[in-house]
Amino acid sequence: MNNVRKLVFSSLRSCAESDRYTNLEADSVIKREGLTGNDKDFYTALLYGVTERRVTLEYIIEVLTGKSIGKLQINVQLLLKIGLYQIIYMDSVPDYAAVGETVKLAKKLVNRGAVGMINAVLRECVRRTDGKSCRQNEFLPEKKDSVVRYLSVKYSVPQYLCKRLICDYGEETSERIFSSFFEKKYLSLKVNLLRTTREDFAKRLLENGYKIISSDICDAGITVENSGSVTAISGYDEGLFFIQDDSSYAAVTALGPEENELLLDACACPGGKSFASAIMMKNKGKIISCDLRGSKLSLVKSGAERLGIDIIETLECDSGQNNTEFWEKFDKVICDVPCSGVGIIGKKPDLRYKKPQDIESLPDVQRKILANCSRYVKKGGKLMYSTCTLLKSENEEVVAEFIAGNPEFRLESERTFLPFEGQTDGFYYAVMKKEF
């Protein structure tokens, strides 16, 4: 396992230096090193865990060392995080192994003085938390002193993001949102109703040993508890399902694609909304699926082919740039715009650490795409705006401003899915109808 710990260290260092997403780094290392079984599970759990708990671990390091995190060498920081995460959060790793193996790794990566400090810090953590049911609670700041700081440390969310959520939802709801990021995530499948029914597909999954939950949000949804590899799920090669969160499918349902319509999916990749729309249209009509990066459109093409959908045409384009050929041409337009991703932090821990300035600049991009794509809706047609964030500055405020400036559009429906309310991501959509 120590070699696996070294791989985790190298991956954390690589991600820190290059801003590479953890999932891309993990996929690359697992493939390159041929990790399987326990080694793969341990590598994944430790890499994602340290990434997810970064804010909490850095606070604990400052408490135990008496130094600000920035004054410690990067290698020392990473080694302490690796060791502390095992002690505090991994019940399967004995304390002696977490300390001993981390110190052994440290001897190869830092000087003797740093090794001694790492050993002392990890042992002090064991001493202070031994026998405690929730070890991280031994280090939390007082909630009465600062709610924002308390929530930030407890749920490993940067303070600026805590402030934004509290402003939008209040303290109690915000804490429930933060807590939900650590709940077990299940795989949300959408049945390809062109080829089977939910009942028949559910029966097939049960016969193959899967634990499932039928969605109460959409008629094609099945949640799989013990999924493993997506491609290994029975029915994948036959195109009997695709991956899409219930909230996203519900948004398409609210838009209501119909047979023989012309639909534009302006920011389509990886294709879930295009696939759902095509199925609702019974594979009759035409869908143009666009994305700024043409290389990603292969996911839409291959997915449509697997599902037996032939009404999707892909187009590489910038949906924020005007295309006069599209003016007032489409019955339905989907604008699933780039966003901060706050609603899916539980699945993608890196999204916690977006820079505040990057988040602040997003509404301008979103407004531009929405305004441009609204030109493409014909009279009587519908426009859907959606994000996988929870920030109202990217959701309700963008839509309200658009409606105020475009009286020809009427808000028909609007909904925010909070991630603790069921087996869904945090998600927002608004459907608007062009009246004249």
Cis peptide preceding 363, ω within 30 of 0: no
- The answer to whether position 250 is within a domain reads yes
Closest of 349, 420, 425, 421 to residue 179, by C-alpha: 420
Same domain, 135 and 252: no
- The answer to whether position 366 is within a domain reads yes
Among the three residues 97, 114, 139, which one is the final residue of a domain in this structure?
139
**pLDDT of res. 259:** 98
DSSP result, 130-195:
TT-SSGGGGGPPPTTT-HHHHHHHHHT--HHHHHHHHHHH-HHHHHHHHHHTTSPP-EEEEE-TTT
**pLDDT of res. 136:** 94
**pLDDT of res. 287:** 98
Same domain, 251 and 376: yes
Same domain, 127 and 251: no
Same domain, 126 and 250: no
**pLDDT of res. 229:** 83
CATH number for the domain that contains residue 395: 3.40.50.150
- The answer to whether position 359 is within a domain reads yes
Same domain, 126 and 251: no
Among the three residues 71, 106, 139, which one is the final residue of a domain in this structure?
139
Among the three residues 112, 139, 166, which one is the final residue of a domain in this structure?
139
- The answer to whether position 179 is within a domain reads no
- The answer to whether position 416 is within a domain reads yes
pTM of the shown model: 0.94
**44 lies in which domain range?**
2-139
Q: Please give the backbone phi and psi of residue 221, each rounded to the nearest 5 degrees, phi first.
A: -95, 135
**pLDDT of res. 255:** 98
Beta bridge partners of 191: 241
User: Contacts from 128-137 at CB under 8 Å and sequence distance 24+?
Assistant: 129/87, 129/88, 130/95, 135/87, 135/88, 135/89, 136/56, 136/60, 136/88, 136/89
What are 93's two structure tokens? 């790793």
- Residue 337 burial class via C-beta count within 10 angstroms: exposed 0-12, middle 13-18, buried 19 and up: buried
Total structural domains within the chain? 2
- Element (DSSP H or E) covering residue 434: strand 427-434
- Per-10-residue mean pLDDT, the chain, length 436: 88 92 94 94 96 97 96 97 98 96 97 97 96 92 96 97 97 97 91 96 94 87 84 94 96 98 97 98 98 90 97 96 96 97 95 94 97 98 98 98 97 97 93 97
**pLDDT of res. 225:** 84
State the Cα–Cα distance between residues 393 and 139, nearest whole angstrom.
33
- The answer to whether position 112 is within a domain reads yes
**pLDDT of res. 154:** 97
- The answer to whether position 166 is within a domain reads no
**Residue pair 346/183 in contact by the 8 Å Cβ criterion:** yes
- The answer to whether position 230 is within a domain reads no
